[in-house]
Amino acid sequence: MAEAGTTVRGLLARRDFRRLLGTRLLSQFGDGVFQAALAGTVLFNPQRAADPVDVAAGFAVLLLPYSLVGPFAGVWLDRWSRRQVLLRANVVRAGLVAVVAGLILAGVQGPGFYAAGLAVFSVNRFVLAALSAGLPHTTDEPSLVSANAVSTTSGAVATVIGGSVALALLPLTGSGDAGYSAVALSAALPYLAAAGVVAGFTRTHLGPDHMSRSAVLSARQVLAGMVSGARHAWRDRAAAAALTAISLHRFWYGLLTLMALLLYRNTFTEGTAWFPGGLVGLGEVVAAGAVGTLVAAALTPAAVSRIGKERWIAGLLVGGGLAQLGLGLLVQPPAAVAAGFLLGLMGQGVKICVDSTLQECIDDDHRGRVFSVYDTLFNVGYVAALMVAAVLLPASGVSRPTLAVVGVGYLLTAALYVRMSRR
């Protein structure tokens, strides 16, 4: 832990690392505000109503087309200045958020509303992939695990803080369409601030090392680039195992996500002083997950240094499975909060290792495309789980057999990851 702390101090001493970290924190803080506004609009707004299938369909409409943007974004991130991508994408997001806020205020539902949300999420794809692809340009390879621990974890915490700020604003704005519209609009401010921070980089600082002047790509070129990235990753044993592990994790996590949403909307409605119900109670679970991500950031660099990434990932997946078989099956608010903490620790620890593995194994000229493959798998697995959960789960969200399946699923994922790593 002392060595990890020294490494973190060294990272924070680098001006370029601090600038990229500031860009991430502001961007993901805005994400938290915007996502909380959307979740409240769809799930907890008394002027609207949605059943499990509606919720899952909403996620699918937002995330599946967004995954189709991934191949284009990945190829472009290996051709365009990543600094320019981050600058312009944050400005564009601020404008799109204003459009979404206007639609919420007008009470628009259905395809128009989802299309506007999809546009924001699509631009977000460029931002997150560019942040990950550009990170190795602000540190050296031995520090990549610590750099990812600091960057991705602090970014996740910034998202939760943004969501908490959105919840704190609701008593002032109200919980109807007008209130959620005002909260959504406030997300534009951190997006514009992120654009201002990243503007301090020179155009070439974040790569790619070999930029192309041509920005026009045919669908065939994009597909070829995506296939090239997938093959490049699959040929590497560690990268292939890491992508498989994170994809399966996202499937199991997707099942738990819809279950938590339904529980806090329809079952955990009253709550207590320590464990409230409704949107505030759901926020408590998310906050517990954020604390888990902080613990993961503190433990992962030291654990990887001692036992290696492969054993740490396998151990975390086993821990996630046991947590669901133990705490999850209780189906009580305190158990949900505790399970949220453990899932946050497990998920963030795995993500830090996966990000570091890809950054170490993949050369810079393929890194954007590989991270696009990564993000596409990440989202497709999540949406597939939501659709399955919409069919399996009752409106109450209470389903112990589903929790048992998730617990066993995590254990099998750990076994598969170990086997692929040793292949």
Per-residue pLDDT tens for 148-207? 889 988 998 899 899 889 988 888 888 788 898 999 999 999 999 999 999 999 999 998
> Going from the N-terminus, what domains does the chain have, and what CATH number goes with each?
8-200 (1.20.1250.20), 225-421 (1.20.1250.20)
> Quick check: 331 pLDDT over 80?
yes
Q: What's the confidence (pLDDT) of residue 353? A: 93
Per-residue confidence band for 244, with pLDDT thresholds at 50, 70 and 90 = very high
pLDDT above 70: percentage of residues in the chain: 88
Handedness of CA 379, 385, 388, 390 (dihedral sign): negative
> Quick check: 246 pLDDT over 90?
yes
Q: List, in sequence order, every beta strand (DSSP E) within 128-279.
A: none
Concatenating the DSSP letter of every residue in 176-205 gives SHHHHHHHHHHTHHHHHHHHHHHTTS-TTT
Q: Is 142 exposed, middle or buried (0-12, 13-18, 19+ CB in 10 A)?
A: exposed
Q: What angle do CA 370, 39, 173 make, to 5 degrees?
A: 130
Q: What's the confidence (pLDDT) of residue 271? A: 72
Per-residue confidence band for 69, with pLDDT thresholds at 50, 70 and 90 = low
Q: What's the confidence (pLDDT) of residue 48? A: 58
Interatomic CA distance for residues 14 and 1, integer angstroms: 20
Per-residue confidence band for 219, with pLDDT thresholds at 50, 70 and 90 = low
Interatomic CA distance for residues 345 and 330, integer angstroms: 20
| Residue pair 421/237 in contact by the 8 Å Cβ criterion | yes
Handedness of CA 377, 379, 382, 388 (dihedral sign): negative
Q: What's the confidence (pLDDT) of residue 208? A: 86
More confident position, 373 or 333: 333
Of 164-178, 219-233, 274-288, 341-355, the least confident: 219-233
> Quick check: 1 pLDDT over 60?
no
- Please state, in angstroms and as integers, the Cα–Cα distance from residue 248 to each residue in 123, 229, 382, 384, following that order: 25, 20, 9, 11
> Quick check: 374 pLDDT over 80?
yes
Query: Shortest CA distance to 84 belongs to which of 130, 148, 119?
Result: 130
- Please state, in angstroms and as integers, the Cα–Cα distance from residue 335 to each residue in 101, 254, 259, 328, 393, following that order: 35, 18, 14, 6, 19
Whole-number mean pLDDT of the chain? Answer: 85
Per-residue confidence band for 406, with pLDDT thresholds at 50, 70 and 90 = very high
Sequence-ordered list of residues with C-beta below 8 angstroms from that of 332, at least 6 positions apart, any chain = none
Interatomic CA distance for residues 282 and 333, integer angstroms: 9
Per-residue pLDDT tens for 122-150? 888 789 888 988 999 998 877 888 898 89
User: What one-character DSSP code corresponds to residue 212?
Assistant: -
Compute the average pLDDT of residues 70-86. Answer: 78
Interatomic CA distance for residues 72 and 241, integer angstroms: 24
> Quick check: 23 pLDDT over 80?
yes
> Quick check: 216 pLDDT over 60?
no
**Which residue(s) pair with 271 in the sheet?**
276
Q: What's the confidence (pLDDT) of residue 93? A: 94
Q: What's the confidence (pLDDT) of residue 376? A: 78
More confident position, 12 or 372: 12
- Please state, in angstroms and as integers, the Cα–Cα distance from residue 55 to each residue in 47, 106, 114, 176, 386, following that order: 16, 20, 12, 18, 9
Of 282-291, 329-338, 356-365, 392-401, the least confident: 356-365
Per-residue pLDDT tens for 260-291? 988 988 888 887 778 888 878 888 998 899 89
Interatomic CA distance for residues 153 and 147, integer angstroms: 10
Per-residue confidence band for 214, with pLDDT thresholds at 50, 70 and 90 = low
Compute the average pLDDT of residues 334-361. Answer: 92
Interatomic CA distance for residues 224 and 217, integer angstroms: 11
